[in-house]
Amino acid sequence: MKKQLLLVVSMMILAFTSTAQYYQINASGGNPKGLNKDNEFPPGGGLASDWVTLITGTTSTTSSWSADQAMPFNFSLDGTPVSTYRVSSSGVINFSATAPASPAYGTVELSASSVPNSSLCVLGLGTTTTTDYVVKKVFGNAPNRQLWIQFNSCTEPNLINGWVYFSIVLEETTNNIYFVDQRTQCLNGQTACTNKTKLSVGVKIDGSTSYSVEGSPNFACTSLNDPTPADNSYIMFLPGVQPANDINLISLDVPKYGEKNSDITIKGKLSNYGSTNLTSFKINYSVNNGDVKTMNIIGVDITKNGGTFDFTHNFPFTPTSAGLANLRVWVTDPNGTTDPIPSNNELSSTITILDKLVPRRTLHEVFTSSTCPPCKPGNEQLTAVLNERVGKWAVLKYQYYFPGTGDPYFTQEALNRGTYYGGVNSVPALFVDGGWNDNPNGYEEAIFDQFQSMPSLVQMTTSLNVTGNKADVTVNVTPVAEMPTGNYKLRVALVERETSKNVKTNGETEFHFVMKKMLPNETGSSFTFPAKDVAKTTNLSYSFPGTFRLPASATKSASVAPTGTNYNGIDIATENTVEEFYDLAVVAFIQNDDTKEILQSSWTVQDWAIGMKENVKNASDFNVYPNPATNDLVIEWNGSKDAKFRMLDLNGKEVMSEMSINSSINIENLNTGIYVIEMVEAGKTITKKVSIIR
C-alpha cells in the first residue's frame, strides 16, 4: 500500500576507531533530494531502459566483481579523489586501484580483513539467482548529479525466498554517500518483511577506519513492497565535521505543467542538518533568472540534527506566456549567519507553461482471472476508488491464464500485453498509466489522484458504432503543446462492459471492461503527433468473426504455458466471446513505448446501432445507454407501456420525471455524478445506475 510519509530525520550516534571524517543522518519518506523518481522493478520487469546492468545473478556460491566502471563525475571518498569503481555480487562497491578478493556472501563486521579497503558495503544480500541484478543510472544535472548503484531484486536469506532492493548513491559536488533502503518482500506465506533482514551497511576506509550504520551487521530494512519511492528510507554519510548551522533543501513540490495567467504555488521541504536549532532563515526563488522573490522565516524552532520544515512561499509565480519556466529555489541565512555548506541549499525545476491545461483520463489496465481468489476483492477495491472519481478514468481488463487453468476469456493478445510490461507473474496486477504496478487490493484514491492530477498534453475523444458484429471506431487526438519526440503508439481495444459466462471459482459473478479485441492488435499503430492544436483522426473497423464460443478454460494443463496445443482459448481469427454486442465499448490510449508512459486515454460506449433492439436482455429489464452519458441518453424498453421511468440523484431526490423511452433524452442541465434510473411497473421496481460526465 502506498503511504504518504513525512520526512523524519534524526542524528545517529556512531562508534569508530579513529577521528571521524563522516557524520550520519537517517531519513525516511522518499529518495535523497527526490532526483530518482523511478519505480523499483528489475530489468525485464518494468525498469526503464536507461538503467545499465552491471551484474546478472547466477547460482554460483562464489561472489565476483563486475567490470571496472568509470565515475561519471568528480567524487572523493574520505577526501581522496576516485575515478573508477567495481561492484561485487555480494553487495560491495570498491574504489581500490586493483581489484582485491571479492567478499564472500554473508554479513561481517566492516572492520574484518575480508572487507576490502575503500569500500561501500551492503553485505548480506547477493545476486544468487538469475533474476537478481546490479544496475546503475545517473540522475540530475551537473554539478548536482547522483550516481545510483542498485542491488535489484537481490536475495537475502532471512526473507525466505523473498527479495531486497537497496541502493548506494554517490553525489556530485557534496561527496555525500547515501544508503537507500527501497523495497523488501517475503514469500512462503509471510505477511511482513519489516526487520527481517540482516545486513552490514557502511563505509570501510582502511584497516583502522570503518563507519558502520547502527544495527550492522544485523541492519534491518524497514521498507515494504511498495514499488514507488514513498516508503523508502536512507542513511546519509556527510563528509567532514557537522557545522552548527546548515540548511539542506530536500525537495520541491511544484507542478510539471502550469497554465498561462494562473498562479503556481512554490512549495518544498527543508531540513536542519546543523548541530543547533534553527529559528530563522530566508527562502528565495527566481524564474528564468528574473527577479528574486524572498520570504523571511522567523520565530520557528526546527530541531537540530535533522528537524524538517514544509514551506509554502508567500509569493506565487504567475506566468504570462507559454513556454519553459526554469525555476531556481535556494535557502540562505540560517540563524542570521552564512551557511558553510551552500552546495545543499539549492534545487531547480522546470515547469512547462501551457495556454490551457487538459485533464488526464487515467487508464487502469488490470490483469485478472475468474480463477484467482484475490482478484475478487482487488476488482471491488478498484471499483470503489473509481466510483468516487467518475469521468476521470478508463479501464481495460485482461482476463489471464492462471491460477489453475485460467479464465475462459483469456487470449494471446492479453498474454502479449503482459509480456510488454515485462511479464505478469501474479494476478491481480494493476498498471496505472503504464506505471504503478501492484495489487489493486492496495489501490487508494490518493494514488489515483497522484496520476490523474497530472495534466495531459493531449486532448482525446473516441466514438464507436456497432452494426451487427461490425465495430467502427473513430479516435480524435489533438496536442495542446509541441510534443517531444518519442516512440508513440495508438492502442485501441474493444471491451465488453459486463460479462457473466466466464464465471469460474473465485466468487465473482460479473466481470467488467473485459478486453475482447485490440485493433489492429496489441502492438497498436505507430503514431506521429500533428502540430499544436491540430486534430488528427484515426478510423478503425473490425468485424468479429464466426459465432460465440465459451472455452472451458484458458489452458489444458496448468503446468504448461498457454501456447501451441496447450492453448485452450478461442481462435480470434474464426470465433469470438462477445456475449452482447450492444454492450461493447471502446478504449483508446496513446503510449510511449520507450518509457511505457500513457499520455492520455479515452473511452466511450457505442452510438445507437441499427437493429440492436433485440439485444435487450429480457422483457422485464431495461437498458440505459450510453453509460457514462454526456449530453443525451436513451432508455430502451420493450415492455408494457404502463411502465413509468424517473431519475433520482444518490440522495433520493427526483431530478427528472416521466422520462420517455426509446428516444433521446437531453441531460445537459444535470451535473457530473452518479444517478439512478427507476422503473416502476405493476408494483415492481427496477433500478439502474447511470454516470453523467462532462
**Going by C-beta distance under 8 Å and a sequence separation of 6 or more, which residues neighbour residue 17?**
111, 208, 209, 210
What pLDDT score does 495 carry? 96
User: HEC states along 235-283?
Assistant: EEEEECCCCCCCEEEEEEECCCEEECCCCECCEEEEEECCCCCECCEEE
Q: What digits encode the pLDDT tens for the residues 615-633?
A: 334 445 788 888 888 888 8
pLDDT band at 48 (very low <50, low <70, confident <90, very high): low
Q: Give me the sign of the Cα torsion angle 35, 437, 396, 498.
A: negative
Residue type, 483: M
Q: What digits encode the pLDDT tens for the residues 361-399?
A: 999 999 999 999 999 999 999 998 988 887 789 999 999
Mean pLDDT along residues 147-167: 88
CATH number of 618-692: 2.60.40.10
What pLDDT score does 279 carry? 98
What is the value of pTM for the model shown? 0.65
Report angle CA 139, 145, 148 to the nearest 5 degrees.
Answer: 50
- CATH (one of 2.60.40.10, 3.30.70.560, 1.10.760.10, 3.30.1330.80) for 362-607: 2.60.40.10
What pLDDT score does 615 carry? 39
What pLDDT score does 9 carry? 33
Mean pLDDT of the chain: 88
Find out whether 397 and 429 touch, Cβ atoms under 8 Å.
Answer: no
Q: What digits encode the pLDDT tens for the residues 78-103?
A: 999 999 999 999 999 999 999 999 99
Find out whether 651 and 675 touch, Cβ atoms under 8 Å.
Answer: no
Task: Retrieve residue 111's grid coordinates.
Answer: 572492520
Residue 440 φ/ψ region, left for φ over 0, alpha for ψ in the -120 to 50 degree band, beta for the rest = alpha
| Count of all residues that appear for the chain in the document | 694
CATH topology identical between 247-354 and 362-607: yes
Across 53-57, 272-276, 575-579, 640-644, least confident range: 640-644
Q: Does the structure show a pLDDT above 60 at 194?
A: no
**Going by C-beta distance under 8 Å and a sequence separation of 6 or more, which residues neighbour residue 532?**
479, 480, 481, 482
Task: State how beta strands 346-354 and 257-259 pair.
Answer: parallel
- Complete edge-to-edge strand list for the sheet that includes strand 684-692: 654-656, 644-649, 673-681, 684-692
Q: Does the structure show a pLDDT above 80 at 520?
A: yes
Across 179-188, 256-265, 609-618, least confident range: 609-618
CATH fold of 247-354 reads Immunoglobulin-like (2.60.40)
What pLDDT score does 541 carry? 97
Across 2-6, 318-322, 406-410, 510-514, least confident range: 2-6
- Complete edge-to-edge strand list for the sheet that includes strand 119-123: 69-77, 80-87, 92-94, 119-123, 200-206, 209-212
Q: What digits encode the pLDDT tens for the residues 587-599?
A: 999 999 998 999 9
Q: Which of 441, 411, 436 is nearest to 569 (CA)?
A: 411
Taking residue 433's Cβ as centre, other Cβ atoms within 10 Å add up to 23
What pLDDT score does 14 carry? 36
**Going by C-beta distance under 8 Å and a sequence separation of 6 or more, which residues neighbour residue 130?**
56, 57, 58, 59
| Cα→Cα distances 585→33, 529, 548, 669, Å | 44, 25, 18, 25
What pLDDT score does 195 carry? 60
Residue 182 φ/ψ region, left for φ over 0, alpha for ψ in the -120 to 50 degree band, beta for the rest = alpha
Would you list the domain boundaries of the chain? 10-239, 247-354, 362-607, 618-692
Mean pLDDT along residues 286-304: 96
Q: Give me the sign of the Cα torsion angle 437, 443, 445, 446.
A: negative
